[in-house]
Amino acid sequence: MCSHGGGRFPLVPSSTRQEKMPGGSVWVLVLALALPSTGQQYLERAESIMNSTPVIDGHNDLPWQLLQKFNNQLRLPEANLTVLNDTHTNIPKLRQGRVGGQFWSVYVPCETQDKDAVRRTLEQMDVVQRMCDLYPETFACVTDTIGIQQAFESGKVASLMGVEGGHSIDSSLGVLRSLYRLGARYMTLTHSCNTPWADNWLVDTKDDKPVHHGLSAFGKMVVQEMNRLGMIVDLAHVSVDTMKAVLNVSIAPVIFSHSSAYGICPHRRNVPDDVLRLVATTDSLVMVNFYNAYVTCSDKANLSDVADHLDYVKKMAGAKAVGFGGDYDGVTGVPTGLEDVSKYPALVAELLARNWTEEEVEGALAGNLLRVFSAVEEVKRSLQDTPPHETPIAFEELEGSCRTSYGYSNGAGAAQRPPAALALLLALAPLLSVLF
């Protein structure tokens, strides 16, 4: 894999291949077979680095697979994570891939919005916790940077939870705070649907209509409350306007937990160049996605194509802005050479072959995420005396026929829109001032 690009990493130096010695080409062949290939040397170096600095991956959908296949029944014999074979992720593969930290996605689909999204999210959080309980020798559920470091030291996979889609909080700051208390440490502001307070990426494809052109006033409160709590803001799946709005509102660095570079593959799930420049100025992080459609904008890709995205993010935003967000078990097509979570060392070997320094590699593996997470924790400490936001979203901004209106009937403190007639009057005010 490291000899792509016309064999720019030959098995033996050209001077050796050209040297005149007894036996001619036979001697050269014997020498080539006796020496380890350059690619193997890079792989061994990658594994050595990862033994002390394992990868922290930003997004893995194994919990969704556990729901789909087993209805979250982990003690079924066929659900045993030591032998599960029809997923990208199991315990032996995690060990082989030197995965030391994983944000497990507690994803629920957009169709749960205004229905049972909160219940479904809680069940997915529960299954992650039960993974840690059932396999304590492998997983350690943690909630902070100290916990990650302790898991590294004990040889366990630091297991954190990422809420994939703001619809999971049902437009409630109280639910947001409760999910944080239960262990959620990032939230992707949208999935593939708008929420009542933020626009998703399909707005940029014209497959969805913009509602807020970024964030609503309540959406800004959500970001501010995440800053106060110490929850990482994740911008995967949001519209470009939402990306820019958040990067200007958040006082803590943010992440793209599983997004790639638009400059390499112009897919709207990827991060455009102007946003990458904002990522650099805010010390934020892009954790590159391995899904073929986001890597090559086609149904086929290889390990080298993913490395191109890592190179591009590094070039545009700096080495400190690069991370890994494989999206394993959440996508249908992964690159040749990155078939499952066991393959991370091969990708690291490719980066080393591309002259990434060990410091840059260690940053992409874990250091950059730990830096962002530490900064988020520092912002939390700086805001510890700041009271929580209490103003609820306006009732008329919510959808769903089964809602009750308790608390809204007296109009106390609701962040309401002006009545339609008043809104029209305000819009016409400049014209009326001219006419009268």
Amino acid at 201: W
Please give the DSSP secondary-structure letter assigned to residue 140: E
- CB neighbour list of residue 178: distance below 8 Å, 6 or more residues apart: none
Catalytic-residue membership of 389:
no
Catalytic pick from 57, 61, 305, 308? Answer: 61
If DSSP states are collapsed to H, E and C, what string results for 194-226? CECCECEHHHCCCCCCCCCCCECHHHHHHHHHH
Catalytic pick from 191, 212, 267, 309? Answer: 191
Q: Six-digit token pair at 201?
A: 């990426």
Which residue has 């305000």 as its token pair?
Answer: 426
Catalytic pick from 57, 164, 225, 340? Answer: 164
SS3 category, 346: helix
Please state at what angle helix 217-229 crosses helix 240-249, rounded to 10 degrees: 50
Catalytic-residue membership of 327:
yes
- Are 256 and 264 in contact by the 8 Å Cβ rule? The answer is no
Catalytic pick from 88, 167, 212, 237? Answer: 237
CB burial string 342-380: b at 16+ within 10 A, e below? bbbbbbbbbbbbbebeeebbbbbbbbbbbbbbebbbebb
- CB neighbour list of residue 401: distance below 8 Å, 6 or more residues apart: none
Q: Six-digit token pair at 343?
A: 């393959």
The full length of the chain comes to 436
Stretch (H or E) spanning 185 = strand 184-188
Looking at the DSSP bridge assignments, the partners of residue 57 are 102, 324
Amino acid at 407: G
Amino acid at 281: T
- Between strands 285-288 and 322-324, the pairing is parallel
**E strands of 236-335, at which residues?**
255-256, 285-288, 322-324
Catalytic pick from 88, 167, 258, 309? Answer: 258
Catalytic-residue membership of 258:
yes
Catalytic pick from 204, 225, 308, 327? Answer: 327
Catalytic pick from 57, 59, 170, 199? Answer: 59
Please state at what angle helix 344-353 crosses helix 38-52, rounded to 10 degrees: 120
- Between strands 157-164 and 184-188, the pairing is parallel
- Are 228 and 217 in contact by the 8 Å Cβ rule? The answer is no
| Pairwise CA distance, residues 190 & 261, whole Å | 19
> Active-site positions?
59, 61, 164, 191, 237, 258, 327
